[in-house]
Amino acid sequence: MNQHTPITEAPEALVARLATAGRAAQARLARLADVEKAAALRAAAQALRDDESAILAANARDIAAGEANGLSGAMLDRLRLDPARLAAIADAVDQVATLPDPVGEVISTSERPNGLVLSRVRVPIGLIGIIYESRPNVTVDAAALCLRSGNAALLRGGSEAANSNRALMAAFQRGLGAGGVPPEAVQLVPVQDRAVVGAMLTAAGLIDMIVPRGGKSLVARVQADARVPVLAHLDGICHTYLHSAADPDMALAIALNAKLRRTGICGAMETLLIDAAFPAAARVVAALLDRGCEVRGDGRACALDPRVIPATAEDWDTEYLDAILSVAVVDGLDAAIAHIARHSSHHTEAIVTADADAAERFLNEVDSAIVMVNASTQFADGGEFGLGAEIGIATGRLHARGPVALEGLTTYKWVVRGTGQVRP
Amino acid sequence: MNQHTPITEAPEALVARLATAGRAAQARLARLADVEKAAALRAAAQALRDDESAILAANARDIAAGEANGLSGAMLDRLRLDPARLAAIADAVDQVATLPDPVGEVISTSERPNGLVLSRVRVPIGLIGIIYESRPNVTVDAAALCLRSGNAALLRGGSEAANSNRALMAAFQRGLGAGGVPPEAVQLVPVQDRAVVGAMLTAAGLIDMIVPRGGKSLVARVQADARVPVLAHLDGICHTYLHSAADPDMALAIALNAKLRRTGICGAMETLLIDAAFPAAARVVAALLDRGCEVRGDGRACALDPRVIPATAEDWDTEYLDAILSVAVVDGLDAAIAHIARHSSHHTEAIVTADADAAERFLNEVDSAIVMVNASTQFADGGEFGLGAEIGIATGRLHARGPVALEGLTTYKWVVRGTGQVRP
C-alpha cells in the first residue's frame, strides 16, 4: 500500500516505481472488454458506499487538522465530506460506468489503390498524472474517467486531504479488484515533500499526460516545469457581447445568468461588451448593479449609471471569479472582436444578436475554445455539453479544447491491413 | 525583409517581432476562402519556377561554402538544388494546393434537450514554428502545408542553407502576395546565433506548436528545452514479426522490402522477429545476407546462418538507418509482443501471418503509432497513406500520431448556437 512507502525513497524512484506498476496495469486494462471496465467501476462505487464510515472518519481527521492549521472556510468547505457528498461521489462513478467507451472507435477508414486498408482507431493515452489540491472528490472523479477510457492514473492530491484520499482510494481500488481490474490501474502518490510533483512533471516516457486541476498558481507551475505534455486549463476570462441587434430581454437574461448564476466557475462572464447601438444598455447595467454586482466600466459605461466605477487597465485582463464585472461600450462587431482578441483567455465568448450574419462572423472570427451565440457562457461545462463528465476544460490549442471528457483521454493509432504489399 | 534585420537585435525580441507579425497575418489568412489560399499557393509555385536562376545561384553559394567548411558528401547532397529538384519542389506546392482544406470541417454536431446546438469545427492551430537542418526543400514544403491549413509559419533552417532558404522564401512570399495572402504568413527566421532556436522554443503564447525536422540531436534538444508544445518524431525502431503461420514467400518479400528498399528512412525495419515455428527462417536470413545486409542475431538467429554476427544488448534499441538488421527468434506471438513492448520506439510495427486471430491480437496489443499486418513497414509515409504530404511522422501520443498532414495541423473549437438559453 502506498501509505506504507518509506518516506526515505527518492521522489524520482517513487514516481518511477508507481508509474511502472501503473503502466503494467494499463496494459492489462487495455485488454479488458467494455463491460468488464463498467462492472469494475460499479463495484468501486459500491465499495465507496460500503466504506462510508471509514471515509468520513478519515475526512474528519483532515478537517480537524485543517482547522488547527488555520485553513480558510472556503478551503475547509471544499475539503469536507458528508454522507450526501460521498453518495454523490459514488453515484458519479456509476454514471461514468454508463458512458460509452470511446476505445476501439474507428475514426476513419480508407483503402489505397494498392489494396492496403487503413483505419484510425481510438486507443487510451496510457498513464495520466493528475495533480490537484484539496478537493477529495477529484480523486474519485479523475480515477473513474481515466479508467473508463482505458487509462491508468497516478493521483497526487493536496496534503490537506491526505487521509480522505487514502480512504477513498482504498475503497475504490478494492472495488476495482473485485471487478477484475488490476488495482494498480489507479494509484495515489503518497504525500511527502513537494519534490514528488516535480518528479511527476519530468517523468517523460513514464507518464503520458499531466492534468493539473487547481488554482492558477498550480497550473502555472505545472506549465513552467513540465517535460510531460500538459492538458491545462488556465484562466477563464469570458466575454459576452450584446450586439446592436440583440433582443433586449434576451440580452438582459443572458448577461445576468452569465455573470451571477455562479461567479466562481471558469465559464462565468468577466467582461461585458455592449454595442454603442444596443438600445437597453443602461437597463442591463442597472439590473446587474441592483443584484449586487460591482461594475467597473470604461468612460461610456460609467455614463450609463452613477454606480459604475471606472475600470483600470488591469480590469480587462482579470478573472474576478466574484460578483465583479468589467463593462466596455464598443462601436460595432469589429471592435468587439478586436477587444476579445486582445483580452480573452480563449476559453468561452458569446454574442447576443438576432442578426444571423453578425452571429456567423463572431463564431468564425473569435478564436476561443468555445464560441456561443444567444446563450449564457455558464453552459461551458462537460455535463452541459452532453459529455457526461469532464476531466477539465482545456484552454490550450492542441490535442483537445474546451470540455474534455472520455474522448479527450484517448489518442489513436493507424491500423494497416495488407495482403503482402511491399513498397515499390 | 528578414535578411536586413540588424544582427544586434536580441533573440527574444526578434522572435517576438516575427511572431507578432505572423499571428496578425494568420488572423487575416483565416478569413480567406479555400480557393484564395489555393490560388496563392499556385502563384507561389510559379514564382519559384520564375526565380530558378536566382535560387540556383544562391544554392551554389551555400554549396561552395559547405565544401569549404568540409561538409560531408551526404550533407552536401541534401543541400544541393538543381533544376529537377527545384521543379519538384514547385510541383509539390501545386500538389498541396489541390489537397482539400480541412478548416471548417464539422467534426461532430449534437443538439441538447434545452435546444442548444453544439458543433466541433476544425480551425487552424495558429503560428507553427519549424526548426530544421540543411534541406532547403523543407522550407517550401512546410510553408505550403502550414498555409494550406490556415496556419502561419516561422521557419528556422540550418545556417548551411541560409542563402538557398532566403532565395526560396523571397520567391514564395512574392507569389503569396500576388495571390492575396499576407507575405508575413510565412517568414524565415534570419540565421544568427543559436540562441534564436532557444527563443523560439520558449515563446509560449506567441508560437502555438514547434515541429522539429532533423536528426536525433535536434529533436532531443527541442524536446528538452521547449515550453511550446512539440510535434516530434523521435526514433523509428520498427519491427517486423514473421509469425508461424506467415506465408514464406510473402514473409521473404516483406522482410527484404522493409529493410532494404531504403535503409535511411524512419519506416525502415530495424529488428526482425522470427517465430521459432516459422518454417523459412534460414531462407529469409540468407536472402538478407545475400543482398549485403549485415545481420546481428541472438543465439538462435546466429544458428540460422554462419554469416550472422552475435548481437549485443544495445542492438535491440538501435535505429541503424543502414543495411544492418538485428534478428531475434521468438517463441510465439506473446513473446514477439513482449519484445516489441520493451524495445520499440512506437513508430511502426508489422506482423506477417495468415492467421486472422493472431493478426488481430497483434494489431490490438502492439501500442505503436502504426501497426500493420502483411505489409512492409516502409509504407509508413503520409503520401503512401493518401494524405498528400506530411509535415512529419509523430511518435508522441497526443494531438496527432503517425503521419501528420493537413488535419494534424488543425485543432477545433466548439460552436454553440442558442436561442436565449440561460443555465438553471
For chain A, the distance separating the N- and C-terminal CA atoms, rounded to the nearest angstrom, is 55
User: A341 CB near a chain B CB, below 8 Å?
Assistant: yes
CA distance B420 to chain A (A): 5
Chain segment B158-206, per-residue pLDDT in tens: 999 999 999 999 999 999 999 889 999 999 998 767 789 999 999 988 9
Q: Give residue B316's pLDDT band: very low, low, confident or very high (50, 70, 90).
A: very high
Do residue A93 and residue A143 come from a single domain?
A: yes
Q: Which pairing describes strands A410-421 and A117-124: parallel, antiparallel, or unpaired?
A: antiparallel
Query: Do B355 and B207 fall into the same domain?
Result: no
Q: Residue A2: its pLDDT value, please? A: 45
Q: Do A263 and A122 fall within a single domain? A: no
Q: Do A367 and B413 touch (CB under 8 A)?
A: yes
Q: Tell me the pLDDT tens digit for each residue of A259-281.
A: 999 998 899 999 999 999 999 99
pLDDT > 90? residue A395: no
How high is the pLDDT of residue A415? 93
Question: Closest Cα of chain B to A224: distance in Å?
Answer: 7
B388 domain-assigned: no
A227 contact residues in B (CB cutoff 8 A): 223-224
Q: Closest Cα to residue A137, out of A181, A88, A208, A70? A: A88
| B149 shares its domain with B256 | no
Question: Cβ of A224 under 8 Å from any chain B Cβ?
Answer: yes
Q: pLDDT digit string (tens) for A329-378?
A: 999 999 999 999 999 999 999 999 999 999 999 999 999 999 999 999 99
A75 found inside a domain: yes
pLDDT in tens, A179-191: 889 999 999 998 7
Q: What is the CATH number of the domain that holds B368?
A: 3.40.309.10
B253, B364, B423 member nearest A261 (Cβ): B423
State residue A396's pLDDT score.
84
Which residues are registered as beta bridge partners of B327? Answer: B272, B297
Q: Is the pLDDT of residue B390 over 90?
A: no
A393 lies in a domain? no
Specify the pLDDT at position B204: 87
B window 150-169, beta carbon within 8 A of A: none
Together in a domain, A325 and A371: yes
pLDDT in tens, B39-79: 999 999 999 999 999 999 999 999 999 999 999 988 899 99
pLDDT of residue B146 exceeding 90: yes
Nearest partner of A188 among A208, A199, A209, A173, judged by Cα: A173
For residues A220 and A190, membership in a common domain is answered with: yes
Whether the CB of B422 is below 8 Å from some CB of chain A: the reply is yes
The per-residue pLDDT for B7 is: 58
**Is residue A36 a part of any domain in this protein?**
yes
Statement to judge: residues A256 and A208 lie in one domain: no
pLDDT number for residue A6: 53
Q: Does residue A78 have a pLDDT over 50?
A: yes
Is there a single domain that holds both residue A115 and residue A14?
Answer: yes
Question: Which residues in chain A are closer than 8 Å to B118, comparing Cβ atoms?
Answer: 385-386
Name residues whose C-beta falls within 8 Å of residue A137's C-beta, 6 or more positions apart in sequence: A85, A88, A89, A92
Short-list B298, B264, B266, CA closest to B281: B298
Q: What is the per-residue burial (b if ≥16 Cβ within 10 Å, else e) of B66-87?
A: beeeebeeebeebbbbeeeebe
**Predicted local confidence at residue B2, as pLDDT:** 45
Between chains, do B422 and A116 touch, taking CB under 8 Å as contact? Answer: no
pLDDT of the residue at A393 = 87
* pLDDT at B6 (0 to 100): 53
pLDDT number for residue B393: 87
Which band of pLDDT confidence, cut at 50, 70 and 90, is reported for residue A216?
Answer: confident
Give residues with Cβ within 8 angstroms of B73, minimum separation 6: none
Stated pTM of the model: 0.90
* pLDDT value of residue B225: 87
Q: Specify which residues B295 forms β-bridges with.
A: B325
Largest CA-CA distance found in chain B, in angstroms, rounded: 79
Q: What is the mean pLDDT of residues A300-324?
A: 97
**Total domains present in chain A:** 2
> pLDDT-derived band of residue B387, with 50, 70 and 90 as boundaries?
confident
- Share above pLDDT 90 across residues of chain A, in percent, rounded to a whole number: 79
Domain assignment present for residue B305? The answer is: yes
Q: Kindly state whether residue B396 falls inside one of the protein's structural domains.
A: no
User: What pLDDT is recorded for position B1?
Assistant: 41
Give the chain B residue nearest A368 (alpha carbons): B413
Q: Tell me if chain B has a CB within 8 Å of the CB of A417.
A: yes
| Domain co-membership, B177 together with B265 | no
Does residue A108 sit at the B interface (CB-CB below 8 Å)? no
Comparing alpha-carbon positions, the chain B residue that sits nearest to A376 is: B422
* Arithmetic mean of pLDDT, A2-20: 79
H or E segment at B221?
Answer: helix B216-225
- Is the Cα torsion angle A103, A105, A111, A115 positive or negative in sign? positive
Structure confidence by residue, pLDDT tens digits, B201-238: 999 889 999 999 887 888 888 888 888 888 887 789 99
Strands B309-310, A127-132: pairing kind: unpaired
CATH of the domain at A200: 3.40.605.10
Q: Cβ separation of A369 and B414 shorter than 8 Å?
A: yes
Q: Which of A112, A209, A376 lies nearest to residue B423, judging by beta carbons?
A: A376
Mean residue pLDDT across chain B: 93
pLDDT of A1 reads 41
Q: What is the pLDDT of residues B103-133, one digit of tens each?
A: 999 999 999 999 999 999 999 999 999 999 8
Is A386 part of the contact surface with chain B (CB cutoff 8 Å)?
A: yes
Q: Are residues B72 and B158 in the same domain?
A: yes
The answer to whether residue A226 is domain-embedded is yes
Q: Which of B229, B341, B385 sits opposite A118 (nearest CB)?
A: B385
A141 found inside a domain: yes
What is the least distance, in Å, from the CA of B424 to any CA of chain A? 8
- E strand residue ranges, A90-237: 106-111, 117-124, 127-132, 152-156, 186-188, 209-213
Q: Which of B403, B389, B399 is nearest to B95 (CA)?
A: B389
Yes or no: say if A373 and B416 are a contact pair by the CB < 8 Å rule. Answer: yes
Give B352's contacts (C-beta < 8 A, 6+ positions apart). B240, B241, B242, B243, B246, B247, B250, B251, B254, B255, B373, B374
Looking at the complex, does the CB of residue A284 fall below 8 Å from at least one CB of chain B? no
Residues B200 and B282 in one domain: no
Are B379 and B273 within 8 A, CB to CB?
A: no
The domain containing residue A367 runs over which residues? 238-379
Q: Do A399 and B401 touch (CB under 8 A)?
A: no
pLDDT of residue B250: 97
Mean pLDDT across chain A, nearest whole number? 93
- Interval A141-194: pLDDT, tens: 999 999 999 999 999 999 999 999 999 999 999 999 998 899 999 999 987 677
The CA-to-CA distance between both ends of chain B, in Å, stands at: 55
B225/B243 same-domain check: no
